[in-house]
Structure 1
Amino acid sequence: MRLELLVNGEQRVVDVPEDVSLLEVLREDLRLTGAKNGCGEGTCGACTVLLGGKAVRACRTPAARAAGQEIITVEGLSPREKEIYTFAFTAAGAVQCGFCTPGMVMEAKALLDRQPEPGEDEIRQAFKAHLCRCTGYQKIITAVRLAGRALRGEIEPRAGDPAGMGKAFFRPDAPAKVLGEAVFVDDMQVPGMLYGAVFRLPCARAKVKAIDVTAAKEQPGVVAVLTAGDIPGERYQGHIFKDWPALVAVGEETRYAGDALALVAARSSREARAALDYIKVDYEELPPLTSPQDSLAPGAPALHPKGNLLSETVIKKGDAEAALKSCAHVVTNTYTTPFTEHAFLEPESAVAVPEDSGLTIYTSTQGVYEIHTQLVSLLNLPPEKVRVVNKCVGGAFGGKEDLSVQHHAALLAWATQKPVKLTWTRRESILCHPKRHAMTITMTTGCDAEGNLVALVADLVADTGAYASLGAQVLERACTHATGPYRIPNVTIRGRAVYTNNPPAGAFRGFGVPQSNFAMESQLNLLATATGLSPWQIRWQNALEPGDTLGTRQVVSADIGLKDTLLAVKEAFESSPCAGIACGFKNVGLGVGTRDVGRARLAVSGGRVKIYSGAACMGQGMEAVLIQIVAETTGLPAALIDCVLADTARTPDAGCTTASRQSLFTGEATRRAAADLAAALKGRTLAGLEGRVFQGEFYGATDPLNSNKEHPVTHVGYSYATQVAILDEEGRVAKVVAAYDVGRAINPLNLEGQIEGGIVMGLGYALTEDFPVQDGIPVRQTLGRLGLLRSHQVPQMEVHLIEKGGTPYAYGAKGIGELATIPTAAAVAGAYYRRDGKLRLSLPLEGTPYARSGK
């Protein structure tokens, strides 16, 4: 089919298949990649363009329908519009990962073209077809209003604050993200590139008897079909435990529906996927184990050679069982929390390119060095022959720590000696990557007559799914944080992570703590009722203070601002009879004796300073953080500072972006390197330091869990928070007031955006998000059915930043990415408990206006 299209004022002619979408034509034929493919189902809005002046979802618009109508993409904005939208979205703090941003900009243009001065409700309604998993929408609404004012001539675009600590410095990556110029992996095109596809079985557990790829190899466009025998190195990989096969071999069992059996490389994505239908597998479907109880039952088949118990964690302080007998009030309940899907907007993608007798893999990950280690092992290549480069990361939240597409793209590229791109569909992403752990938590909590906590006994069972991922570590954090940020003299906690045939469970914002926090905070509400204390008062009198000890026996440091966060929200809580309150805390850094190092290198070249660090930015603003630290330390302006992140050939290993660690660990490494640069600059100019390199490293030493030390250092630091959720008369969340002990806010604007996004994610966890699994298969495999909150459903948010000195590192900065989500579900549950007196023991909460049928 030949199409004549008017795109951004230019006539274009393309020959395309009849069933092609407008998005495919724009991205693949016209190379206009500002419109993103986030879902392929018209749900996320990332592909929004204007067609005849109206906003449409290009992924669901047939290309033929666009003939004869003017098409405007983000690339087609006028220079003035580009200036205004870049300013507005940057100044409002509305840009994080940036994957959804160009679509948001086009929706804003459509709205402001027809209504130059919209109200907040109009903006919320206009954007209800868009999803953003990073920002929480509030700052996007602010950005649209700013853009409207600038377009009306009421204000002029301006620059942000100068770089430095505590400044609203405009993040350098924002303009490219706003205008669709930032390169995500699926935007890449390499000459001669092939496309990959993956074959999987339609069931969760099966014995593979034979695989026949003969017919698939003969299909049009197919260049290679690979199976397990074609892997040159170690087939089993994993982030920590090597229990996950890159390809399941004949004679083995699949362990979940996402397991890969064969790979196809072809000259087009359509040809690669079509060839999958010609792969013939003889298999015997086996009954899946779909719960930890099934897996731990006597006689259950072993899913792994070590059995079905991945790990066990025990925390003990004092004698909790004996202490419970002395308590005036004791409550016991069993809480359940579901699997949850990360739903980052950018599906997983990798481009593997053979070069210099090795491979370069362009990808989207939270840890380039972690991916590098596994690819070296898989391909059996020397480390220097494998390079991993991060492009822009379109959200992650823990869901991009494991291998996903990188190893399959690499295998196909190595076998064919041609570049290969492999991008998952949204369905594949939902089916395959690890989720938040479903947990069952039985907790007994006791206090004295005055409401002082005395003892806690808890048993946690986590469904870690088919493979380990980070399940053992997630379980540890759930256990170490199950006490909440409270003074409890006697603690006994046991946790077990159990293999099943469900999708793997791994890292997800909060890393196990949202689950145990929901249980602990709900218990506290019951004890408040029993003692006659208010929910605020019982938290205040039990809140950790300097010198107290955690459940792990670590001594609480002097920089704790937990009580300050309680004071900040007290009035908001006490002003409403239907307000719920919850506190939370979260470690910063890997801790528990794990070697944890941040690294940075500063190089002076051409009268400029370039920061090199292997830290990944997945939307949190890492580049801005490091530039601000260098500027603060050296006095140099941001205009002379550049940043290169996450490239194993160019940047030092700074560890994975996980555990809320990068601002502290890599921030401190950068500060140390910058301090050396500042010393060298005394009496000299940058020109006089041409070619000099300054190295920085920070090692956060900690002790193993259950160390025999009297007071071990479990983690280098903790952040603390209190949230209040306020319900309206209809029982909907009208407002969330939140206070965070952040140590030192490097960039308050970006920090607020992180927190707001985390709160909205927590609201979804509390109210609308579920991930039911039947026979090991996810029931909901589209983005639109996950229950993600949208702009018109999100309450007002009020954020208080408590700065109380922080750690001795990185100017006192502490992590916030995970903590932002942790107390939300418990605060919302507490609000409903105060409203109707019903204790809700499961998430998402039942009996609310948000509850949906078809669970």
Structure 2
Amino acid sequence: MFAFLLNGQSVTVRDDGSLLDYLRDVAGLTAAKNGCGEGACGACMVLVDGKATRACLLTLAKAAGKKIVTVEGLSGREKEVYAWAFAEAGAVQCGFCTPGMVISAKGLLDRNPDPSPAEVKKALHGNVCRCTGYVKIERAVLMAARALRENQEIPVDGKYRLGDRMPRIDAREKVLGTAEYVDDMRVDGMLFAAVLRSPSARAYIRRIDVAAARALPGVEAVITANDIPGRRHQGHIIPDWPAFIAEGEETRYIGDALAAVAAVSKAVAKAAVQLIKVEYEERKPVTTPREALAEGAPSIHPRGNLLAKTVLKRGNAAAAIAKAKYVVTQRYMTPPTEHAFLEPESALAVPEADGTLTVYTSGQNVYDDHHGIVSLLGVEDSRVRIISRMVGGGFGGKEDLSVQHHAALLAWHAGKPVKLTLSRQESIQVHPKRHAMEMEFTLACDENGLFTAMKADILADTGAYASLGGPVLQRACTHAAGPYQIENVDITGLGLYTNNPPAGAFRGFGVTQSCFAMETNINILAGKVGLSPWKIRFRNAIEPGKVLPNGQVADAGTALKETLLAVRDVFASNPAAGIACAMKNSGLGVGVPDTGRAKIQVQNGKAVILTGAACMGQGLATVMIQILCETAGLDCQDVDVHVPDTAITPNAGTSTASRQTLFTGEAVRQAALKLKADLKENGLGELDGREYYGEYTGVTDPMGSDKPNPVSHVAYGYATHVVILDEAGKVARVVAAHDVGKAINPTSLEGQIEGGVVMGLGYALTEDFPLRDGVPMVKFGTLGLFRAGGVPPIEVVIVEKNPADLAYGAKGVGEITAIPIAPAVAGAYLRRDGRIRTKLPLETTAYRK
């Protein structure tokens, strides 16, 4: 028996176990989140006798006799202060880490009511945030400290329109832990799932014996490939990813599923999985694209090992390179990297009385999930409904099916609700990563430093399955020459299957890799010409009316030069500064159908926005409210947003390609214009029951178009980043200037940029994803993620220059924020020691020897 105080109440438990499991599964206190289960992320922080402690590492026996406080146990005054401070500062994005941050903040402020910024950083060392970049979290803690210390009155929400710093509408619930993520959900009769995965990256499966698992008391369903009633193979574009590997087939990576179990408890489900016997023959995996290309290499898929080839040619690059004054050729290597979103994948499938199935998910598009599950079950669309709960980060890593389909299949067979949540290590093994790439880039210029040609060959490791490897390769190629005026380009990209974990969408979508190569080549070329890295970029920068390397004519909203001018002085005054530019598309582009959709329904005196667009931390719901209020003249208190739901909300496409603010934002604007017309003659309350629909479709030209100037994408954002090193060789400051078109919500925009900068610093300096025979050799705690104490000051410069009416001129910013940082860091080290670094993470730095 173990007794302790929990939020002021006496608690006695009989059996030992994890404190976190007790809080969540027994006490029903879900503010403490299970982000990693290994004490590395801090999402499960609680106070133990006043000290911030990771609940996942504390047993009930060790908690005996102690005072435990969770976010639910804060005083009313504390809840109001923390909710206000974190919302006002913009410290909340996906929100999964936020209650843990609040606990660490309280632990600090209880013993030190007036901390310094350095003390705040130190107190947050045990907490990881993948979204915000920590800047606004630290500000929120200092704001909360002052409010508590001086007994400040908490301001009442004001009125907000376009361009105002409106706090996120979901911030309070996320701060206080009442926002519901899928793994927080409990329903009557719910079963728990576990999945048996491949014994190695490449194994021939002879036999799968599930008899012992089925016989285990408490097990209610065991399924394999034989139990799939519909289409077994799934995939966004190419259906090459089987929900289960069948007997007589080879596994293609360590995350392949062989069988799944649903049982009355997590423990029974895990025990049942261990009872499944697999007879297999281990085979040598193919672990590099060059191995996959080699003659006689085993075919990972029936169609061979080449997933995709992208070619982009304009002019005559070979001739221009041959006669150029200066030429630089370098080979570059970038690794796979892990998204490390704080919320591991989770899904809950619930059979309904009418024979339909409702699946609660945390993915990046409920309609993608719906399409996959319907085809897997072999049923009509109306038989499956997908509803999104809060999404604890994504960055592209939650676009593919990971748990949704297995939970649905188990629930379909068991006839009971089934929840499947991945452990952190399963998540690391299962979901797609950023593509590793090997690249050779050549850049040529004349005697004045004007670029005359560039040539690139890109080899991408797409891993075991296609996912979005084809489009990622396209973006790496279409953006490879950067935001410059270059008439002659010759770019070829190959994407190869291997037995590594799949690679797919990840913030930057292939451009993080090719930008690192191109921008580093520019720095080397600048030295040959005798120009500063800033001047050679400004001299070649794209301007409105000029032609991009992919042939598209830059529009009037193009502001790359303005971002360069914004950082000119800071770069010129710091000899240890590096600089890099980037461009990134908004929308899918290249001829792919792409539509944002939204409805506005007037319900009980409120205008409710309905859209299937996923809000995964980027603040989309708040932005849509601001667009509606600006267009229709309403106050934000008169507006609400419905969660994505395939039964109610229209398909607005995936939250990817920095597209939702532009595409679905414009759809909301179109619907709001119709509402505005009716409001001229009626009050909002008089329009109850009315519905207004809006949509926007971006029309672009396909790859390989024979047009002289094809429209590759409907919009591009541009950015220039400057990284300054200190005397010890560590990053002392980052200045990030972004052409955003129009800042709908500056606070959210800054938060996106700060978060992307920190993610980019990790990519440049500390993050790696080592593999051995296709198996990840990392845990969450060894990924190399930046923590608060390692983040330098970040200055965000917002450039607004876009006369377009489309979404009030807004451009997507989510992806571009992470792109220019790695080459800017490499450029800073090049200026510091003269060494050209061509591999990420960068070697021989203060971060990595």
Tell me, yes or no, whether TM beats 0.5: yes
> Are residue 386 (structure 1) and residue 395 (structure 2) matched?
no
> Are residue 197 (structure 1) and residue 194 (structure 2) matched?
yes
State the shift of 1:516 in Å: 0.2
Pair 1:159–1:321, CA change in 2 (3 A)? farther
| SS of equivalent to 1:455 | strand
State the shift of 1:175 in Å: 0.1
Q: 2:687 aligns with which of 647, 670, 689?
A: 689
CA RMSD of aligned residues (A): 0.9
Q: 1:774 aligns with which of 758, 763, 772?
A: 772
Match of 1:543 in 2: 541
Equivalence map 1:576-615=2 (5 Å): 576-615=574-613
TM-score (norm 1): 0.98
State the shift of 1:650 in Å: 1.2
Q: 1:291 aligns with which of 261, 268, 288?
A: 288
Question: Which structure 1 segments of 5+ residues have no match?
Answer: none
Q: Distance in 1 between matches of 2:803 and 2:26?
A: 52
Q: Distance in 2 between matches of 1:732 and 1:112?
A: 29
Instruction: Output the amino acid matched with 1:173.
Output: D
* Contact 2:45/2:55 (<8 A) preserved: yes
State the shift of 1:3 in Å: 3.3
Q: 1:260 aligns with which of 248, 257, 261?
A: 257
Instruction: Output the amino acid matched with 2:619.
Output: G
Instruction: Output the amino acid matched with 1:162.
Output: K
Q: 1:377 aligns with which of 364, 369, 375?
A: 375
| SS of equivalent to 2:761 | helix
> Are residue 280 (structure 1) and residue 277 (structure 2) matched?
yes
* Contact 1:437/1:464 (<8 A) preserved: yes
> Are residue 337 (structure 1) and residue 337 (structure 2) matched?
no
> Are residue 13 (structure 1) and residue 12 (structure 2) matched?
yes
Q: Distance in 1 between matches of 2:347 and 2:155?
A: 37
Q: 1:310 aligns with which of 307, 310, 314?
A: 307
| SS of equivalent to 1:254 | coil
Q: 1:434 aligns with which of 432, 442, 460?
A: 432
* Contact 1:591/1:714 (<8 A) preserved: yes
Equivalence map 1:185-264=2 (5 Å): 185-264=182-261
| SS of equivalent to 1:851 | coil
Match of 2:561 in 1: 563
Q: Distance in 2 between matches of 1:755 and 1:562?
A: 16
Instruction: Output the amino acid matched with 1:425.
Output: S
Q: 1:788 aligns with which of 771, 785, 788?
A: 785
Percent identity reads: 60
Match of 2:40 in 1: 43
Match of 2:614 in 1: 616
| SS of equivalent to 1:261 | strand
| SS of equivalent to 2:642 | strand
Q: 1:652 aligns with which of 645, 650, 654?
A: 650
Instruction: Output the amino acid matched with 2:253.
Output: Y
Match of 2:168 in 1: 171
Q: Distance in 2 between matches of 1:550 and 1:337?
A: 25
Equivalence map 1:713-732=2 (5 Å): 713-732=711-730
Q: Distance in 2 between matches of 1:734 and 1:725?
A: 8
Equivalence map 1:145-156=2 (5 Å): 145-153=142-150, 155-156=152-153
> Are residue 446 (structure 1) and residue 431 (structure 2) matched?
no
State the shift of 1:806 in Å: 5.4
Q: Distance in 2 between matches of 1:332 and 1:687?
A: 66
* Contact 2:556/2:802 (<8 A) preserved: no
State the shift of 1:6 in Å: 1.4
Pair 1:171–1:825, CA change in 2 (3 A)? same
Number of positions where the alignment pairs a residue of Structure 1 with one of Structure 2? 848
Match of 1:4 in 2: 3
* Contact 1:717/1:807 (<8 A) preserved: no
Pair 1:367–1:126, CA change in 2 (3 A)? same
| SS of equivalent to 1:5 | strand
TM-score (norm 2): 0.99
| SS of equivalent to 2:769 | coil
Q: 1:759 aligns with which of 753, 757, 760?
A: 757
> Are residue 106 (structure 1) and residue 89 (structure 2) matched?
no
Q: CA offsets, 1:790-826, max 9 Å, x none?
A: 0001100000000002543111110000010000001
Instruction: Output the amino acid matched with 1:448.
Output: D
Which stretch has the larger CA shift, 219-228 or 77-86?
219-228
Match of 2:57 in 1: 60
| SS of equivalent to 2:602 | strand
Q: 2:112 aligns with which of 112, 115, 121?
A: 115
State the shift of 1:201 in Å: 2.4
Equivalence map 1:668-679=2 (5 Å): 668-679=666-677
Q: Distance in 2 between matches of 1:553 and 1:43?
A: 47
* Contact 2:169/2:621 (<8 A) preserved: yes
Instruction: Output the amino acid matched with 2:298.
Output: P
Which stretch has the larger CA shift, 397-406 or 798-807?
798-807
State the shift of 1:281 in Å: 0.7
State the shift of 1:161 in Å: 4.8
| SS of equivalent to 2:598 | strand
Q: CA offsets, 1:205-249, max 9 Å, x none?
A: 011111101111112311111110000100000122100000000
Q: CA offsets, 1:685-706, max 9 Å, x none?
A: 0122121100001001111011
Q: Distance in 1 between matches of 2:803 and 2:445?
A: 31
* Contact 2:484/2:549 (<8 A) preserved: no
Which stretch has the larger CA shift, 148-157 or 651-660?
148-157
Q: Distance in 2 between matches of 1:688 and 1:31?
A: 42
State the shift of 1:154 in Å: 6.1
Q: Distance in 2 between matches of 1:789 and 1:486?
A: 31
Match of 1:521 in 2: 519
Match of 2:417 in 1: 419
Instruction: Output the amino acid matched with 1:11.
Output: S
Consecutive aligned runs of 4 or more in structure 1 exceeding 6 Å deviation = none
Q: Distance in 2 between matches of 1:653 and 1:626?
A: 15
Q: CA offsets, 1:721-771, max 9 Å, x none?
A: 000000000000000001000000000001100100000000000000000
Match of 1:398 in 2: 396
Q: Distance in 1 between matches of 2:709 and 2:69?
A: 62
Match of 1:819 in 2: 816
Pair 1:655–1:538, CA change in 2 (3 A)? same
Q: Distance in 1 between matches of 2:726 and 2:419?
A: 49
* Contact 2:198/2:253 (<8 A) preserved: no
Match of 1:493 in 2: 491
Instruction: Output the amino acid matched with 1:495.
Output: G
Q: Distance in 2 between matches of 1:605 and 1:429?
A: 40
Instruction: Output the amino acid matched with 2:257.
Output: A
> Are residue 836 (structure 1) and residue 833 (structure 2) matched?
yes
| SS of equivalent to 1:331 | strand
Instruction: Output the amino acid matched with 2:660.
Output: Q
* Contact 1:159/1:170 (<8 A) preserved: no
Question: Which structure 2 segments of 5+ residues have no match?
Answer: none
State the shift of 1:155 in Å: 3.7
Q: Distance in 2 between matches of 1:613 and 1:806?
A: 26
Q: Distance in 2 between matches of 1:744 and 1:214?
A: 61
Q: CA offsets, 1:108-136, max 9 Å, x none?
A: 00100000111011111111111000000
Q: Distance in 2 between matches of 1:495 and 1:235?
A: 30
Match of 2:268 in 1: 271
Q: 1:349 aligns with which of 318, 325, 346?
A: 346
Q: Distance in 2 between matches of 1:158 and 1:616?
A: 30
* Contact 2:314/2:490 (<8 A) preserved: yes
Which stretch has the larger CA shift, 644-653 or 253-262?
644-653
